[in-house]
Amino acid sequence: MIRKLMMLLAMSLTTIPAMAADRLIVNTDSRESVSLNGTWHYILDPYETGFYNYRYKERSEGDPEAYWNRPVTKHRSERREHGYRAPYTLEVPGDWNSQDDTFTYYEGTVWYQRDFDRPQLGKNQRVFLYFGAVNYEAHVYLNGKKLGMHKGGFTPFNFEVPRDLLKEKDNFLVVKVDNKRHPDEIPTINTDWWNYGGITRDIKLVMTPDNFIQQYEIELDPAQDILTAKQENRFRISGNVTLDKAASSGAVTLAIPELGVEQRYPVTGSRLEFDLELEDLQLWSPKTPKLYNVSLTYNSEELADNIGFRKIETSGKKILLNGEPVFLRGIAIHEEIPQGVRRAHSEADAEQLLGWAKDLNANMVRLAHYPHNEQMTRLADKMGLLVWSEIPVYWTIDFGNDAVLDKAKAQLKEMIARDHNRASIVIWSVGNETPVSPVRTGFMKSLIDTARSLDDSRLISAALEVHYNPETNRVDDPLGAYTDIVSVNEYLGWYGGTPDMCRTANWEVAYDKPLFISETGAGAKSGFHADRETRWSEEYQQWYYEEQIKMLKRMPDNYSGVAPWILADFRSPKRNHPLYQQGWNRKGLIDEQGHKKKAFDVLKAYYGEIEKDADQ
């Protein structure tokens, strides 16, 4: 009877809902912090034994067999069936798939654990545990207590750590990471990229004052007519600051030393808005990626940022940057380092990927198919690369499920919150190749409306599909009525037919909007050479790009850019040809060793011509 009552009590404890992540804290690099990167212990747990008991109920908080509790024994007769120790270690940040052959194809639960000492804290300081990203579902525990859970493999989140939970030494931190795919998640089961699992980005303790600037937005006022501003040399900067909690006194100080700005704004409540007029402002662009040192100070905490000011908009069939037409010479990029067969995460990784894009004469990158790490977008600011940033609403998700829509909106909000101040980002994308139906269009329109409500200073798009027609390829997806630009993925000559089909292909768009080719490409096994009609040869891929470029040169006048698929070969379990693919998507212009294929120079020359014509 006692055993039965104890089981019932344990089961009742598991019905308590998990705490959600706190409101996202931005610009953590500028805050007082302690890195928790490095070597962590792990337990591989495919049956989730550490989370569920033998009746498959979530274990109670104090259950000694729960893997979030330290496996301590007071006597040698006691039984414990888990533990954290070498050699079972993983490096953080990093995916688990690339660190040990055991994990190559693994999808499931891995428990991460490390100890840390309490940082030095002021009297009223607060502590947050911040994750750059964990793929996909994370449950976070500290000293046996659950801090919360988060879903979404590519966006940041944080939890506040109660001060009374922190010990002076040996705080026991555990993260349950689960990267299994499910039909009601974002992304869903079916994707064409590797499902890298793990704590894939930085993790840190962030210390803040009792009340602090949680988020802020500082930008060129999107309502200002940019041509008039340039002519009159008077620019309006607008912005807002959100505090973690309401305040009845104090002030936020905004400083932009190079522009002679030091403005104090009294605080009443939890949010303040401001605007100011400036002269001699140098606008950010790919040719002149000017960034200003900007600081915000509140409650003795100073946040420093590098911010560029620019305006992106459309006018009829053209995309305008700072009031002038701009052609997007793009390339799509996966967040992957091919030579290491791993998820990219560091500044050095970003330098490699974006450096390759610059070498291609690109002025734009499509970060597919999910938000990339913060080093990518910050470096794009510095290098002058325009950015398309996207949430992984990919292919056939459950469009009729309101809970799935909520998950997509959560990832959209986290993406925009983290990167709102990045001048390089000019397009928010709400999805890729979603099949047309009224339910799907309603789902996607809801995401577009959400994005606009969060940020009215950028363009909104989604990568659409096209169905080829022998006479005219017409882009008329109803979602195009709601996006700012019409973006379409086309593979004329790869998925059906051969590249010479491009010679007679014509294009038209049902909407009076800019047309952007968000994908096009062909696969090639690097080092395999044959005549141009032999698939998988570098010559076939070269021929494909040559014919595509000829077609692109006679596109209608709304043609505003292209981002071919893709910069570098990347891993995909869907690509299983035993000779030419071997688990790789081979559409890259660069192979898994970092070598450029023949098509790289073809695209580079095309972009060079466009850039030269624009300069004349």
pLDDT digits (tens, 9 = 90+) for 549-571: 999 999 999 999 999 999 999 99
The model's pLDDT over 151-189, given as tens digits with 9 standing for 90+, comes to 999 999 999 999 999 999 999 999 999 999 999 999 999
Instruction: Give Dmax (Cα) for the chain.
Output: 88
Check residue 87 and give its pLDDT: 96
User: How would residue 22 be classed by pLDDT, with cut points 50, 70 and 90?
Assistant: confident
Residue 20 pLDDT level (bands cut at 50, 70, 90): confident
pLDDT by residue (tens digit) across 447-461? 999 999 999 999 999
What topology is assigned to 313-615 in CATH?
A: TIM Barrel (3.20.20)
| β pairing state of 38-44 and 89-92 | antiparallel
d(C-alpha 399, C-alpha 192), whole Å = 19
Q: Which residues contact 359 (CB under 8 A, 6 or more apart)?
A: 604
Taking phi over 0 as left and psi of -120 to 50 as alpha, with beta for the rest, 255 belongs to beta
Question: How high is the pLDDT of residue 358?
Answer: 98
Question: Average pLDDT for residues 103-127, to the nearest whole number?
Answer: 97
Peptide bond into 369 cis (omega under 30): yes
Enumerate the CATH 2.60.120.260 domain ranges in the chain, comma separated: 2-208
Nearest to 126 by CA among 204, 209, 205, 203: 209
Average pLDDT, stretch 254-272?
96
Segments of the chain assigned to CATH 3.20.20.80: 313-615
**What percent of the chain has a predicted confidence (pLDDT) above 90?**
93
Over 50: is that where the pLDDT of 35 sits? yes
Sheet of 301-307: strand order equals 261-266, 251-256, 292-298, 301-307
In what helix (H) or strand (E) does residue 566 lie, and over which residues does it extend? none
Quote the pLDDT of residue 616.
66
Q: Look up the pTM and report it.
A: 0.95
Name the average pLDDT for the chain.
95
Residue-level pLDDT at 468 = 87
* Percent of all residues in the chain with a pLDDT value above 70, rounded to a whole number: 97
Q: How many angstroms separate the CA atoms of 137 and 43, rounded?
A: 16
- Cα dist from 205 to 13, 83, 173, whole Å: 29, 24, 12
pLDDT (tens digit per residue) in 585-603: 999 999 999 999 999 999 9
Would you call the peptide bond into 187 cis, given omega within 30 degrees of 0 as the criterion? yes
- Chain centroid to Cα 154, Å, comes to 5
- Provide the CATH topology of domain 2-208: Jelly Rolls (2.60.120)
Contacts of 238 (CB under 8 A, 6+ apart): 218, 219, 220, 221, 222, 273, 274, 275
The CA-atom distances, in angstroms, between 606 and each of 51, 286, 560 are 55, 18, 14
